[in-house]
Structure 1
Amino acid sequence: MADRYRLVSIEELPSHLILEIMTAGRLSAIDLVCLELTSKTFGGSHGLYPHKFKSMVDYAAFQLCVSHGVYNGMAWNAQKELFDRCGGNWKRVLRFLQAVEESSGMVETSAGNMQITTGRYHTLLISNSSVYSCGSGLCGVLGHGPETTQCVAFTRISFPPLAHVVQVSASHNHAAFVLESGKVAAGLNFTVFLARQGHVYSCGTNTHGQLGHGDTVDRPTPKIIESFEGVGSVIQIAAGPSYVLAVTDNGAVYSFGSGSNFCLGHGEQHNEFLPRVIQTFRRKGIHVVRVSAGDEHAVALDSSGFVYTWGKGYCGALGHGDEIDKTLPEPLNSLKSYVAVQVCARKRKTFVLVDSGHVYGFGWMGFGSLGFPDRGVSDKVMRPRILDSLRAYRVSQISTGLYHTVAVTSQGRIFGFGDNERAQLGHDTLRGCLEPTEIFVPELKADTCLASESE
């Protein structure tokens, strides 16, 4: 009877059961690497799969890749190109897919699930379903009530009981939160929502057609964008000040709203009142997986980790070594030797996170928001440049606001740089940081927020 319930080590389990365990959960690519290095059981070949797989872990990584939503939406040639770009390593392919998925939502760190996002003069953080904010409380964006004008450190926002926040988006004057599932993107006085089924809704100001309903009528409540019906499921949305970019599961990019600075990617500056596909990507067979909408320019990431930029080139925000506007998306050739996993654009600056965890920045260095302390004779970085001060850390996510930037590492550490005049970096003694400085999240304290003089 005792033998019937004998404890066994994982090495004694049947190979097919070990494989089932590895592919059934939410193991990351790094988790699989650790398993492979830990035991011969995971690193060796057991005859369960074709000989082209070097180990059980390699086969598990392959299985996780082919079941991943982003990978499934890619054409065969795009899948092959990604595999080749990753050196024929399925674990690296999986790492790319998981990093892309996390770039616009929660990232898994050693300290738990986290997401960081920056607004104009404020920062919002999700850490294990708790939401924190710091910076300027203008228009109530910090979520602590009308009496709060500023939080000088990350302070927990009070949500209703059982509320489970999974994503947040911050804009100039407001913030939007997602409970349970879905995604949201906040623009200047308007908001776009992405439901779990791939439907897109919008509400708010509609002066440039940024709500995507074919008119310029404001909408006080969310209304579904009917034009997306039949074009495929939308998997990601990004909102600029007055325009929107949307990525579908088949790799197409649609844009609508203000055409100023060529941000819509159609080669002209006309406003678009309905979603319009960006033909440059479609004609060239480029499968886009993520986009970022800056104030005056935009950035896209394709399924092979290549980066594209377009819009206003002032201060080198497009990374092509000049300040020339690009009316259509153009590849960022200086980063072609790297596999990018996240792109992030805001006012006159851009960040690219590559799969090694290193961050490259370019554009305007104002207030130190690019993270380069050696300003020298120019405040412009015309081509992608690595942030040396973050080399020692594996960055998992980055977000940039008007004049400040915040990054989260794989260990759950938070670093910020740039303007801190309104405490948007979570420090109460510094006016600004020219290079990344660690930010700590204290427990909820009453003295971290400042009330208005009328209170």
Structure 2
Amino acid sequence: MAEQGGTPTASDEEQVWSWGAGTDGQLGTTTLQDEYLPKLLSLTSLPSISMLACGGAHVIALTSGGKVFTWGRGNSGQLGHGDIINTCLPKPVSFFNDYVITQAAAGWSHSGFVSDSGCLFTCGNGSFGQLGHGDNISLTTPAKVSYFVNDSVKMVACGMRHSLVLFAGNQVCGFGSGKRGQLGVSSDKTKSVNLPCVVSGFEDVEVVCISANGDHSAALSATGQLYTWGRGFCGSPDVQTPQCLPSSLSFREVALGWNHALVLTVDGEVFKLGNTLNKQSDKQQLQVDSSKPLLEKVSDFDGVRVLQIAAGAEHSAAVTESGEVKTWGWGEHGQLGLGNTDDQTNPQLVSLGSIDLRRKEIKVYCGSGFTYAVKRKQQLPSSPIFL
């Protein structure tokens, strides 16, 4: 993406590909259709990207200067443009003209934004209280969440109909739908809350990262431990409060789908909880231990160090140390980028053409049924961001 003043052009600085479900404009192309192969985008209006967040059918992009662009489905106001109109190309969110936004998250139909001063803003569907404003009203323009006015917000994560916030003192709050335990606010099932409530069980834990998708919630501690709560994996019972995964492994990244989770160890190994493909035949083959989640190594990466992971509704993606992008899982909309709509149970190589990876890197991002890959020289934070 070319910038003003003779700075590097897209060809030598940054490239963006998208593929998968595209009928709401979420692929950033000028055509509203699914793409089965990676499509190289020409987004001349969008300056250098620092991170992406992909939701149900919308995308949030932050620039290196802290500006916000959104596109895709806007029927609930999740794009933050003051309307409920879909947008097929990146459009700046004018509300943030006087702010520097450092992190963002996209849920099914709502969005969250964190500023450099630690403020939290939300917009989109609020019918379950997932915007955190004390009501169930949807908003087409971002609004500051007043609960955190005296606390510095570090990170926001958005699930299907709930939100998580990591803020000062390494505390975690949840709000929105809680019927599967994804808010982690009590031992009893909570249907929904519209004001942030502190998640139980982290009093003596230094949380450095949070993640949300579907009805799942997760957090990573500074010591590399994984905590999950909400909808149970592999048919196991729902979990009302955070439970630490019993493992001697140290994790540095977690990515949640609707029925599965991926975790990445500090050594670059990938493990999964649940199933990328939620097929009944798969369920019948599993021996479910309801006392703990089922952790299984993705053996296809044996001998290969993985640098980053991402998860959509029912598909997964990973970037290897050599710069390869691999995908697997549900493929109905072409979100695996393999030229077809087939499902894949094992990671498959996605062709992005000839890429010079010297002093460059690739990051991959997954929405519910679509995928993005970004290549640039400067380091891109993953989504979610890890401290």
Q: TM-score range by the shorter chain?
A: 0.7 to 0.9
Question: What is the 5 A alignment of 1:51-130?
Answer: 129-130=14-15
Question: Partner residue of 1:199?
Answer: 119
Which among 15, 19, 27 is matched to residue 134 of structure 1? Answer: 19
Question: Partner residue of 1:252?
Answer: 171
| Whole-Å separation in 1 of the counterparts to 2:167 and 2:56 | 26
**Structure 1 331/349 Cα, relative in aligned 2: closer, same or farther at 3 Å?**
same
Report whether the alignment pairs 1:398 with 2:317: no
Which among 197, 206, 211 is matched to residue 276 of structure 1? Answer: 197
Question: Partner residue of 2:244?
Answer: 331
Which among 340, 343, 347 is matched to residue 258 of structure 2? Answer: 347
Report whether the alignment pairs 1:184 with 2:104: yes
State the one-letter code of the partner of 1:273: N
Question: Partner residue of 2:29?
Answer: 144
Is the 8 Å Cα contact of residues 20 and 335 (structure 2) preserved in structure 1? yes
Superposed displacement of residue 392, structure 1: 2.0
Report whether the alignment pairs 1:155 with 2:39: yes
State the one-letter code of the partner of 2:339: D
Which among 277, 285, 288 is matched to residue 378 of structure 1? Answer: 285
Determine helix, strand or coil for the equivalent of 1:250. helix
**Structure 1 365/219 Cα, relative in aligned 2: closer, same or farther at 3 Å?**
closer
Question: Partner residue of 2:227?
Answer: 308
| Whole-Å separation in 1 of the counterparts to 2:124 and 2:231 | 26
| Whole-Å separation in 2 of the counterparts to 1:188 and 1:365 | 18
**Structure 1 367/216 Cα, relative in aligned 2: closer, same or farther at 3 Å?**
closer
Superposed displacement of residue 443, structure 1: 7.5
**Structure 1 128/193 Cα, relative in aligned 2: closer, same or farther at 3 Å?**
farther
Is the 8 Å Cα contact of residues 276 and 316 (structure 2) preserved in structure 1? no
Number of residue pairs matched by the alignment = 301
**Structure 1 411/198 Cα, relative in aligned 2: closer, same or farther at 3 Å?**
farther
Superposed displacement of residue 430, structure 1: 5.8
Report whether the alignment pairs 1:360 with 2:267: no
Higher helix share goes to which structure? 1
Question: What is the 5 A alignment of 1:13-52?
Answer: none
Superposed displacement of residue 422, structure 1: 1.7
Is the 8 Å Cα contact of residues 137 and 150 (structure 1) preserved in structure 2? yes
Which among 315, 328, 343 is matched to residue 432 of structure 1? Answer: 343
**Structure 1 433/215 Cα, relative in aligned 2: closer, same or farther at 3 Å?**
same
Superposed displacement of residue 365, structure 1: 4.7
Is the 8 Å Cα contact of residues 276 and 330 (structure 2) preserved in structure 1? no
Deviation digits for residues 168-226 of structure 1 (CA, Å, limit 9, x no counterpart): 11111211111123111111221111122221111111101111111112111111112
| Whole-Å separation in 2 of the counterparts to 1:376 and 1:161 | 46
Superposed displacement of residue 131, structure 1: 2.2
Is the 8 Å Cα contact of residues 178 and 192 (structure 2) preserved in structure 1? yes
| Whole-Å separation in 1 of the counterparts to 2:206 and 2:195 | 22
Gaps of 5+ in 2: 1-11, 67-101, 356-387
Superposed displacement of residue 411, structure 1: 2.3
State the one-letter code of the partner of 1:142: L
Gaps of 5+ in 1: 1-126, 317-322, 369-373, 445-455
Q: Give the TM-score normalised by structure 2.
A: 0.73
**Structure 1 128/270 Cα, relative in aligned 2: closer, same or farther at 3 Å?**
farther
Percent sequence identity over aligned pairs: 28
**Structure 1 128/190 Cα, relative in aligned 2: closer, same or farther at 3 Å?**
farther
| Whole-Å separation in 1 of the counterparts to 2:177 and 2:41 | 33
Question: What is the 5 A alignment of 1:413-428?
Answer: 413-428=324-339
Superposed displacement of residue 347, structure 1: 0.8
Question: Partner residue of 1:213?
Answer: 133
Superposed displacement of residue 432, structure 1: 2.2
Determine helix, strand or coil for the equivalent of 1:289. strand
Determine helix, strand or coil for the equivalent of 2:170. coil
Report whether the alignment pairs 1:388 with 2:299: yes
The structure whose Rg is larger is 1
State the one-letter code of the partner of 1:130: Q
Determine helix, strand or coil for the equivalent of 1:327. strand
Determine helix, strand or coil for the equivalent of 2:117. coil
State the one-letter code of the partner of 1:408: V
RMSD (Å) for aligned C-alpha atoms: 2.3
| Whole-Å separation in 2 of the counterparts to 1:173 and 1:162 | 19
Superposed displacement of residue 252, structure 1: 0.9
**Structure 1 414/208 Cα, relative in aligned 2: closer, same or farther at 3 Å?**
same
State the one-letter code of the partner of 1:173: A
Superposed displacement of residue 354, structure 1: 0.7
